[in-house]
Amino acid sequence: MDSDRRRDSRSWDWDSPQCRAQLDEVFFRRHDYIQAGSTEHREFWAFFDRFQRFKTRKEMSGPGAKEDRKKTGSGKVDLGLPKEYDARYRINVSVCTLDVEERLGKSERRGSQRSSGPGSQEISDCRLALLHFLDFSQRQSFGKLAKLRREQKNLPIFQYRDRIVELVRQSPVVVVAGDTGCGKSTQVPQYLLAAGFNHIACTQPRRIACISLAKRVSFESLNQYGSKVGYQIRFETTRTPVTKLLFLTEGLLLRQIQQDRSLAQYQVLIVDEVHERHLHCDFLLGVLRSLLAENPDLRLILMSATINIKLFSDYFSRAPVLQVPGRLFPIQVIYQPIPPDEQPSRSEKLDPRPYLRILQGIDQRYPPEERGDLLMFLSGVAEISTIQEACQVLATHTRRWIVLPLHSTLSLAQQDKVFDISPPGVRKCIISTNIAETSVTIDGVRFVVDSGKVKEMSFDPKAKMQRLQEFWISRASSEQRKGRAGRTGPGVCYRLYAESDYDAFAPYPVPEIHRVALDSLILQMKSMSLGDPLSFVFIDPPPAASIQTAVTYLKEQGALDSRSELTSIGSLLAQLPVDVVIGKMLVLGSLFNLVDPVLTVAAALSVQSPFLRSAQHNPDCTTARQPLHSNHGDPFTLLNTFNAWVEVKGERGGGSRKWCRRRGLEEQRLYEMVNLRRQFKELLRSHGLLEPQSSAPSSGDRGQRRLRLTERKKLHQMKRDHEQQESSRRKVLRLEEGEEEFSSGSDTEGAGRGKKDNEAGQNVDIQEVKFKLRHNVSELQEAASVSQDMSSRQQSLLKLLLCRGLYPQLALPDDHNSTRKDSEQVFHTRNKQGVVIHPTSVFASDPEVLQVPEGDNGEMGPERRDSSRHQLLAFVTLLETNKPYLSNCVRVPALQALLLVANSVDSNADCTRLVVDSWLELELRVPEEALKVLSTALALRGEWERLLLAQLGQSTMGAEQGVSHKVLEKLSEGLVRFLLYTEITYSLRRLTAFQTQNLYIGPRPQEPAPEGNPLFPGVEAKPDPIKGGLRVTSFFTYNCLADSKDLYSECLRTFWSCPNCDLYMPLTPLERMQHEASCRPAGEQQQSEEEPEGAKAAFSSSMSSLTRVYHCDVCDEDLTLTSTEILKHKRQHMYSTK
Amino acid sequence: MEQTSEPRQKTFTCQLCGLSSPFTYYGQKPPNTRAIVLLEECFVTQDPFSPDKEKFLVLGSTCSMCSLCVCVGSDCSLFYTKRFCMQCVNKHLEQFPNQIQAELAKKKQSSKAAVS
């Protein structure tokens, strides 16, 4: 047949590109339905080959059933069908291509037959194939549509479709309760869309769910390539003006409400997974409840599992509930409590025997060809690795299991493996934390093993500490875990506890709002003007003490003032979607010229650590990481890491992946950092804390711009291509998967994996593509190199900013650390004694830098240790697991940092004894030095505060707008000098409980009269009603400490000469500080706006500007005096009366 | 609730299987398809599974005999020079060529097997 045709058609060769190109000119021209070069065009030629083969085979098998002539003239209606069968008759499409045009005489080239062109046979062959191809494509697409509709129809919720729409029309709040698999999350929004609702928002507790739901629903609503359905999460959005249905996180919706209380942009709000009771969700419900009253047109739908439905319904004045059955296959529950001799004692590792027995039991009972994987729920990472180890031994032996761990600290690539498919005859054994209970859904699970335990974060307000503790799960969680076995077929659930245990479990898990610190929540409530948090109607109010703790903490942080109102910095912090301490760093950093490093550090501290735990025991990784380490603290290590990564990105682009792998870094976290960093930058800019983006001079000439534009186009195309092929790519696991993982103990390049990764490397690195689309690499590089070349001065200033941000999260090294092993170094925070440094911190491997150098001091008593090098640790988190651990620490010089950031500094009369926050005691040897350092600190702080307020646009001075660079320069210079060059020996220790009780002298009957406060104009220096002494500034109280020298501070008058002016007279410490605060070196006086004129004037005139009217009761006279003079005057009377 | 500014969506529903989906065009010459001509009047929509906006998808048409509105799914209708709904096909099965008869018989059997 083939040879026949070849003879007929001269030199025609179907496989030759030239010949095909000639046909392309007939069928796939620029204006045809399918154009040459398009995807369909490629698909056509592939189809063509198959079609030709099919035809040849058919023809070879003989003329088939051609005897269909026996027309049955049964006298019925004649359908008028052609006599001879031809498959072409089954196609309902016709195409008008060049050949038809020529035949119809449309083309001018008619008759100009090319001698070497395709003959009529070829053209008709190709034409036939094209028609079949079009028909085939139609069938394919229609098949997809039909399947989709079938699946939708089969969902349990489908029959409630009209009822749901009707309820939403009738009532402002509707509760839809349905268990796993009923289809509520994907279908309810579609029902509403189809019913004509237009602006629908659907919240999800997890970002990943927003993305996957948006994808699924846009596919199901046949809008896969449009933007009718979109999502919006922290860094990404696919929302456009035509978006009608938006999936977003709970936190993001709250932020939107913060900006627009009416929430006019939405017609319907769906809050999904309300039963999970996340902090944000509980709060969101509370806010929406009050919003509904103001906005009667708004519709609210709560979607929940069938857990505690009445609670939600009642909260919204008995909203109607629609309950939908779930779709689960039957699951057999087997209680297998752990026998007493296999019960783990507190200190021991988990005994793997009960778990192994189940694996063996499955091997015996179920033939390997019956597929079905196993999912184990354990409480934590340590437990997982214990059981993983034991199971792997069994798996290596039987070769019937692939053991895979699953928890959030694994690299994403490792997490992703649980979705891969095991080879025939082998089951996956996935050992997971409760992450697989709700967040991660794995299909194909048939067996579930439930340990009944969970590790949950709780907050200890007394110790100001987070705690990760193991608990029994609730009955609701237990059911949820069980349900994971019945998603794709009947399953079995093994419970490693007794039925009586189950009955004793709490019905529901403790909602998050009862477990965590409420700082951010309270701050957000304040900024939304929701009134007193204590009287806010929560669905399940948190304990009042917990709210109180948060309010106190926010006051300490300076976010709330003494009347619990938002401060200007507080209202800014409320806008930032980060922890209060991180937000503070950002605001502080924007003031000084340290924006770039602060942005990076703030971003780094807000995401999970990029350093993979598993790589810590790999010597190669440790060596490769070494240059990134900074012994100043973990934030500096993170900063170095980020900068080095940006550097690599700039030079090698996609090569960064390998660079990260070599160092045991999870690159995903770095991508998160760079995104977050950018978001922070935009936030600061939108709040006027950063100068608006300079119209980049680097935009270059037109040629360059065009180049960049084409590159971006290409990148966008790559991203789209990736998104299209993304979904259906599940790899088949290899049997050795688990073994390698375990024997190498890490996910770094093992011989086998390296190869696989190389293969992956040939694919597009989608993260790299997104990175390039989102960020300007050269701009980032610039910023990175700025912070890489940081001088030690800038570094110490950055430390101070971090410390002020983190305050009061400070820890003091124990006195005896120098005699302890590296791993046993002990620290104390104000509220918790005896904490240790997390092994991932740089200070865990290098604790010496925290110790006071030997021989630095004179006397060394057991009680008192003098040095000028005491240091403190500022830390980001204090988390108790098996021990209380500090993580993300920075070391700071103790005295300087405390004086510059602490909320409460109290002194004795000659200021040689300072107590900070009623916790730390500093004793300074030389009164002269003590005074000097204190007054310098006071002056610096005053200036810093003033500039900060000015920066926040709330300057109480009202004198100037914004902050001049010169003034800033001077302040940072002063701060740096203070930090680096204060050489004072002092001792540093914690106060005992007894000492704290008798710390203050308390109010005394004979008080010095209130007087003006030259240090901080506007703040009255007045006797402190509780501590006694004189409250000089908001944070400094003079002479309130009860010690031997307290009674007659007047006696402490010593002669002193002012370095700036000619003053030489006996002054008390306070008087001296006051003078110092007002007397500036001659050169500086002109700039200082507190001193209006007479800049060069001598002492007297400079003092005179500080005078005020003072009424002396004894003289009964109004006197114009400076504060110092007032004191002197009063003393005269005192002496005379004695 | 009527806030839609765009024209009200028209929906095609198969009278046999109930499949329903919005359609954008009814006729033989779907817009933007250039040289394509349909050999029957069809309910057409933009192909939702193709990134190319100009690709169309035929959802269904009317039976040439009984005018029932049917989808193009092989359970509901058949095209052989004209559209026939399955009911009409079965009524006049003997007039269809053997190939088609055989195919239908085979399908019937396999679907029976699947059910049992």
CB contact under 8 A, A225 and B53: yes
pLDDT at residue A1096, as a whole number: 35
Q: How far apart are CA A585 and CA A780, in angstroms?
A: 20
Percent of chain A predicted with pLDDT > 70: 83
Q: Count of alpha carbons within 13 Å of A319, Cβ hemisphere only?
A: 26
A82 touches chain B (CB under 8 A): yes
Q: How far apart are CA A1092 and CA A1086, in angstroms?
A: 8
For an interface test with B, the pick among A93, A107, A218 (most B C-beta atoms closer than 10 Å) comes out as A93
* Chain B positions in Cβ-Cβ contact with residue A149 (cut-off 8 Å): 19-21
Q: How far apart are CA A446 and CA A551, in angstroms?
A: 48
Mention every residue, 6+ apart, whose C-beta is less than 8 A from residue A257.
Answer: A263, A287, A291, A528
Closest by Cα among A382, A420, A458, A133 to A882 = A382
pLDDT at residue A789, as a whole number: 74
Query: For B75, which residue in chain A has the nearest alpha carbon?
Result: A146
The model's pLDDT over A141-192, given as tens digits with 9 standing for 90+, comes to 999 999 999 999 999 999 999 999 999 999 999 999 998 778 899 999 999 9
Cβ-defined contacts of B85-93 (< 8 Å, 24+): B85/B16, B86/B16, B87/B16, B87/B63, B88/B63, B92/A76, B92/A77, B92/A79, B92/B65
For an interface test with A, the pick among B2, B20, B36 (most A C-beta atoms closer than 10 Å) comes out as B36
pLDDT at residue A1050, as a whole number: 54
Q: Is the pLDDT of residue A1018 over 50?
A: no
Local confidence band at A750 (pLDDT 50, 70, 90 cut-offs)? very low
Domain boundaries, chain A: 2-60+87-141, 157-324, 331-510, 515-562, 576-692+712-747+765-789
Local confidence band at A729 (pLDDT 50, 70, 90 cut-offs)? low
For an interface test with A, the pick among B47, B71, B76, B79 (most A C-beta atoms closer than 10 Å) comes out as B47
Instruction: For CA atoms A1063, A1065, A1068, A1069, give the dihedral sign.
Output: positive
Q: Give the one of A33, A40, A76 whose C-beta lies nearest to B33's C-beta.
A: A33
Q: Is the pLDDT of residue A1099 over 50?
A: no
Tell which wins on pLDDT, A537 or A1106.
A537
Q: Is the pLDDT of residue A347 over 70?
A: no
Q: Is the pLDDT of residue A477 over 50?
A: yes
Local confidence band at A1005 (pLDDT 50, 70, 90 cut-offs)? low
What is the distance in angstroms between the Cα of B95 and the nearest Cα belonging to chain A? 7
Q: How far apart are CA A860 and CA A863, in angstroms?
A: 8
Is A942 in contact with A1090 (CB distance < 8 Å)? no
Number of CB pairs, chain A paired with chain B, less than 8 A apart: 128
Q: Is the pLDDT of residue A1098 over 50?
A: no
How is residue A137 written in tokens? Answer: 């494509």
What is the distance in angstroms between the Cα of A34 and the nearest Cα belonging to chain B? 9
Residue type present at position A1044: S
pLDDT at residue A146, as a whole number: 95
Local confidence band at A725 (pLDDT 50, 70, 90 cut-offs)? low
Residue whose entry in the numeric block shows the structure tokens 């190199």: A785
pLDDT at residue A654, as a whole number: 73
Q: Is the pLDDT of residue A1085 over 90?
A: no
User: What DSSP line would sit under A817-883, residue for residue?
Assistant: GGGS-GGG--EEESS--SBEE-TTSHHHH-GGGGSPPTTSSS-B-SS-B-BS--EEEEEEEEEESSS
Q: What are phi and psi of A916, to 5 degrees?
A: -105, 125
Q: Is the pLDDT of residue A977 over 90?
A: yes
CB contact under 8 A, B52 and A40: yes
Is A1100 in contact with A1122 (CB distance < 8 Å)? no
At the top level of CATH, which class does the domain A157-324 belong to? Answer: alpha beta
A622 touches chain B (CB under 8 A): no
pLDDT at residue A473, as a whole number: 96
Mention every residue, 6+ apart, whose C-beta is less than 8 A from residue A50.
Answer: none
Work out the angle between the directed axes of helices A279-294 and A250-259 (0-180°, nearest 10): 40
Q: Is the pLDDT of residue A115 over 60?
A: no
Instruction: Considering only CA atoms, give the Rg of chain A.
Output: 38
Instruction: For CA atoms A211, A213, A216, A222, give the dihedral sign.
Output: negative
What is the distance in angstroms between the Cα of B68 and the nearest Cα belonging to chain A? 16
CB count, 10 Å around CB of A559?
Answer: 26
CB contact under 8 A, A81 and B4: no
User: What DSSP line would sit under A650-701, residue for residue?
Assistant: HHHGGGHHHHHHHTTB-HHHHHHHHHHHHHHHHHHHHTTSSPPPP--GGG--
Query: For A195, which residue in chain B has the nearest alpha carbon?
Result: B1
Tell which wins on pLDDT, A789 or A582.
A582
How is residue A1033 written in tokens? Answer: 């500034």
B101 touches chain A (CB under 8 A): no
- Provide the b/e sequence for A627-665 (b: ≥16 CB within 10 Å): ebbbebbbbbbbbbbbbbbbbbbbeeeeebbbbbbbbbb
pLDDT at residue A813, as a whole number: 93
What is the distance in angstroms between the Cα of A77 and the nearest Cα belonging to chain B? 8
Q: How far apart are CA A715 and CA A703, in angstroms?
A: 18
Residue whose entry in the numeric block shows the structure tokens 């021209």: A29
pLDDT at residue A1059, as a whole number: 75
A63 touches chain B (CB under 8 A): no
A262 touches chain B (CB under 8 A): no
Q: How far apart are CA A803 and CA A188, in angstroms?
A: 49
The model's pLDDT over B25-51, given as tens digits with 9 standing for 90+, comes to 999 999 887 778 999 999 999 999 988
Q: What are phi and psi of A471, to 5 degrees?
A: -130, 160
CB count, 10 Å around CB of A716?
Answer: 12
User: What DSSP line would sit under A583-647, residue for residue?
Assistant: HHHHHHHHHTT-HHHHHHHHHHHHS--SB-GGGGG-HHHHHHHGGG--TTBHHHHHHHHHHHHHH
- Mapped onto helix, strand or coil, the DSSP state of residue A735 is coil
Residue whose entry in the numeric block shows the structure tokens 């077929």: A489
Is A984 in contact with A933 (CB distance < 8 Å)? yes
The model's pLDDT over A529-568, given as tens digits with 9 standing for 90+, comes to 898 999 999 999 999 989 999 999 999 888 999 899 998 8
Report the CATH fold assignment for A515-562: Arc Repressor Mutant, subunit A (1.10.10)
CB contact under 8 A, A81 and B59: no
Q: Is the pLDDT of residue A117 over 90?
A: no
Q: Which of the residue ranges A154-168, A442-456, A1060-1074, B35-49 would you say has the lowest mean pLDDT?
A: A1060-1074
Is A663 in contact with A625 (CB distance < 8 Å)? yes
Let me know if the fold of A331-510 is the same as that of A515-562.
no
Secondary structure letter of residue A489 according to DSSP: S
Local confidence band at A796 (pLDDT 50, 70, 90 cut-offs)? very high
Q: Which of the residue ranges A54-68, A762-776, B81-95 would you say has the lowest mean pLDDT?
A: A54-68
CB contact under 8 A, A78 and B47: no
Q: Count of alpha carbons within 13 Å of A1005, Cβ hemisphere only?
A: 0
pLDDT at residue A525, as a whole number: 94
CA dist list (Å): A387 to A28, A379, A618, B48: 61, 11, 22, 47
Report the CATH fold assignment for A331-510: Rossmann fold (3.40.50)
Is A573 in contact with A559 (CB distance < 8 Å)? yes
How is residue A146 written in tokens? Answer: 């039909």
The model's pLDDT over A407-423, given as tens digits with 9 standing for 90+, comes to 987 877 788 889 899 99
The model's pLDDT over A657-712, given as tens digits with 9 standing for 90+, comes to 899 999 999 898 999 899 899 988 988 887 778 876 655 545 557 777 788 788 88
Is A198 in contact with B4 (CB distance < 8 Å)? yes
Q: How far apart are CA A107 and CA A57, in angstroms?
A: 37
Percent of chain A predicted with pLDDT > 90: 42
pLDDT at residue A557, as a whole number: 85
CB count, 10 Å around CB of A797?
Answer: 23
Instruction: For CA atoms A811, A814, A815, A820, give the dihedral sign.
Output: negative
Q: Is the pLDDT of residue A1127 over 80?
A: no
Give the mean pLDDT of A609-613. 88
pLDDT at residue A726, as a whole number: 57
Tell which wins on pLDDT, A498 or A457.
A498
Closest by Cα among A377, A885, A385 to A614 = A385
A297 touches chain B (CB under 8 A): no
- Mapped onto helix, strand or coil, the DSSP state of residue A900 is helix
Q: Is the pLDDT of residue A213 over 50?
A: yes
Q: Is the pLDDT of residue A460 over 50?
A: yes
Q: How far apart are CA A431 and CA A454, in angstroms?
A: 13
* Chain A positions in Cβ-Cβ contact with residue B12 (cut-off 8 Å): none
Q: How far apart are CA A436 and CA A336, in angstroms?
A: 21
Closest by Cα among B107, B97, B18 to B59 = B18
Q: How far apart are CA B22 and CA B27, in angstroms?
A: 15
pLDDT at residue A6, as a whole number: 45
pLDDT at residue A742, as a whole number: 46
pLDDT at residue B1, as a whole number: 39
CA dist list (Å): A736 to A291, A327, A729, A745, A761: 56, 35, 20, 14, 21
What is the distance in angstroms between the Cα of B4 and the nearest Cα belonging to chain A? 7
How is residue A593 written in tokens? Answer: 């010229």
B80 touches chain A (CB under 8 A): yes
Q: Is the pLDDT of residue A1090 over 50?
A: no
Averaged pLDDT of chain A: 83
Is A1137 in contact with A1006 (CB distance < 8 Å)? no
Phi-psi region of A372 (alpha: psi -120 to 50; beta: other; left: phi over 0): left
CB contact under 8 A, B81 and A225: no
B58 touches chain A (CB under 8 A): yes
Q: Which of the residue ranges A75-79, A1050-1054, B61-65 would you say has the lowest mean pLDDT?
A: A1050-1054
Residue A725, exposed/middle/buried by CB under 10 A (0-12, 13-18, 19+)?
A: exposed
Mention every residue, 6+ apart, whose C-beta is less than 8 A from residue A615.
Answer: A621, A622, A663, A664, A665, A746, A747, A748
Residue whose entry in the numeric block shows the structure tokens 């690709």: B55
pLDDT at residue A1081, as a whole number: 63
What is the distance in angstroms between the Cα of A248 and the nearest Cα belonging to chain B? 23
Q: How far apart are the first and last CA of chain A?
A: 134
Q: Is the pLDDT of residue B91 over 50?
A: yes
Q: Which of the residue ranges A833-842, A900-909, A1029-1038 would you say has the lowest mean pLDDT?
A: A1029-1038
What is the distance in angstroms between the Cα of B2 and the nearest Cα belonging to chain A? 7
Work out the angle between the directed axes of helices A568-575 and A519-527 (0-180°, nearest 10): 110
Secondary structure letter of residue B37 according to DSSP: E
Provide the residue count of chain B: 116
Tell which wins on pLDDT, A767 or A662.
A662
The model's pLDDT over A933-965, given as tens digits with 9 standing for 90+, comes to 998 999 999 999 888 888 887 433 344 456 778
What is the distance in angstroms between the Cα of A218 and the nearest Cα belonging to chain B? 10
Q: What are phi and psi of A762, to 5 degrees?
A: -75, -25
Q: Give the one of A81, A93, A196 whose C-beta lies nearest to B2's C-beta.
A: A196
What is the distance in angstroms between the Cα of A286 and the nearest Cα belonging to chain B? 26
Residue whose entry in the numeric block shows the structure tokens 């992946």: A657
pLDDT at residue A1028, as a whole number: 83
In chain A, residues 742-801 whose CB comes closer than 8 Å to chain B: none
Instruction: For CA atoms A89, A92, A98, A100, give the dihedral sign.
Output: positive
B7 touches chain A (CB under 8 A): no
CB contact under 8 A, B19 and A141: no
Q: How far apart are CA A79 and CA B64, in angstroms?
A: 10
B104 touches chain A (CB under 8 A): no
